[in-house]
Every structure is written in C-alpha cells, then in structure tokens.
Amino acid sequence: MIKTPILAAVAMAFAGSAFADEMEYMPPVTHAATLEECSACHMAYPAGFLPAQSWRVMMTTLEDHFGENAGLDEETRAEIEAYLVANAGRDLSGDGAVPQRISELPWFRHEHEEEVSKRQFEKAKSWANCNACHERAEQGIFEDD
Ligand code: HEC
Ligand code: HEC
C-alpha cells in the first residue's frame, strides 16, 4: 500500500499519544549511585523519559542545574551518565533537540494540559514534582490511579 502524505501525517499525530500510553509504566531507576545522587532534591526520574543526548548535556552541566549546583566527583558523574544514557528513551523530536525537562516535552503537555485541576497543581507546586500527583512514580507507575 502506498502511504499518502496525509496518512503519514495522521500517523505522526498519533505517535505522541501512543508513546504516552506506553509510559503508564516507565522502569524506575535501579542504579544505586543515580538513585542516591539524583533523588536529593526531587525524585530520581526514570532514564527512559529523556533521550540520550539530553542526559549527556545534563550530566556535563550539573554545576548549573536549574539554578542549583548538583556537581559530582568525576567518577560518580561518569557512572551516572553511562547508566542514564544506556537506559535513555527514544528521541521523539526528530530534530536532534536536547530537552532538559521531561515536563516540557510535547507528549507531557498533551497528557497533562486538560487532566490536572488548578488545585492539584497548586499542591504539587511544580510539574517536576511528579510524585506529588503520581503516588507510585517511584515504582515507575504513572497510569491513572
Ligand atoms: C541540589 C539539588 C538537585 C540535585 C542533587 C539534582 N537535581 Fe535535578 N533538579 C533540581 C531542580 C531545582 C530542578 C527544577 C525543579 C523544578 O522546576 O521544580 C531539577 C530538575 C531536573 C529535571 C527536569 C524535571 C522536569 O521538569 O521535567 C531533570 C530531568 C533532573 N533534574 C535530573 C537530575 C539528575 C539526573 C540528577 C542527578 C545527576 C539531579 N537532577 C540532581 C535540583 C537538583
Ligand atoms: C499536578 C499533578 C501532576 C504532576 C506534577 C505530574 N503529573 Fe503526570 N499526570 C497527572 C494526571 C492527572 C495525569 C492524567 C491521568 C493519569 O493518567 O494519571 C497524568 C498523566 C501522566 C502520564 C500518562 C499516563 C498514562 O496513563 O498514559 C505520564 C507518563 C505522566 N503523567 C508522567 C509524569 C511525570 C514523569 C511527571 C514529572 C516530571 C508528572 N507526570 C508530573 C498529574 C500530574
């Protein structure tokens, strides 16, 4: 069958939401150093939520990490980077972008825009605070609960 450009465009539009459905479960961080060092200020985000190039950039800019100094000794830093890159998600952008926030990805906005009440957001204070709303986020569970 010849795929017309229109069909291809429809397939593209759905790809984002299909990907989010796949993410009802996202394997949680199991690597000891990542768990310890990357959950000091927020939960340790599953590696699969960002593509490899995002983790590489983040792991070389930890001294200026969202306004905080999250710097590590070189050995630990390299070990965590290797773990995150090895378990990274697919690059959905298709343009080599290096997003640093899960909460700014198109699928994330799509999934959250109309689902979250003002009250729920005020309680969580930040989109980065996944586990304020997803009680089982640390077990990798993000489905409706
Ligand atoms: C010293 C505190 C601190 C440490 C340690 C830290 N972070 Fe962060 N991180 C922050 C802050 C602050 C933000 C922004 C939070 C917000 O917007 O509410 C953030 C945000 C993030 C985000 C983006 C969240 C979003 O909005 O989608 C990712 C991804 C992230 N951190 C990964 C890591 C990784 C990986 C490590 C371990 C190498 C780490 N962080 C260690 C303070 C820290
Ligand atoms: C203010 C509350 C809130 C915050 C903060 C939040 N979420 Fe959500 N999230 C929701 C709601 C509500 C839904 C839609 C209902 C559902 O599927 O649980 C949702 C849906 C999702 C889905 C789709 C699940 C599915 O069933 O397809 C994923 C994946 C997800 N969130 C991940 C995250 C991640 C990762 C973070 C942190 C970076 C985060 N969320 C932060 C409230 C929140």
For residue range 73-122, list pLDDT tens digits in order: 999 999 999 999 999 998 887 788 899 999 999 999 999 998 999 999 99
- Residue to probe by mutation, ligand 2, list 29, 104, 111, 114, most atoms within 8 Å of CB: 111
Q: In this predicted model, what pLDDT tens digit does every residue of 5-37 receive, in sequence order? A: 444 444 444 455 556 567 799 999 999 999 999
User: Does some domain include residue 47?
Assistant: yes
Amino acid in position 95: D
- What residues does 89 pair with on adjacent strands? 51
User: Does some domain include residue 145?
Assistant: no
User: Does some domain include residue 144?
Assistant: no
Residue located nearest, by CA, to atom 3 of ligand 2? 133
- Residue to probe by mutation, ligand 2, list 109, 120, 130, 138, most atoms within 8 Å of CB: 130
Question: Tokens 């792991």 label which residue?
Answer: 59
Residue located nearest, by CA, to atom 22 of ligand 1? 101
Overall domain count for the chain: 1
Ligand 1 atom at minimum distance from 129 CA: 18
Res 11: pLDDT: 44
Residue 122 lies in domain = 5-139
For the entire predicted model, the pTM comes to 0.91
Task: Give the Å distances, CA to CA, from 38 to 6, 117, 118, 129.
Answer: 43, 28, 28, 13
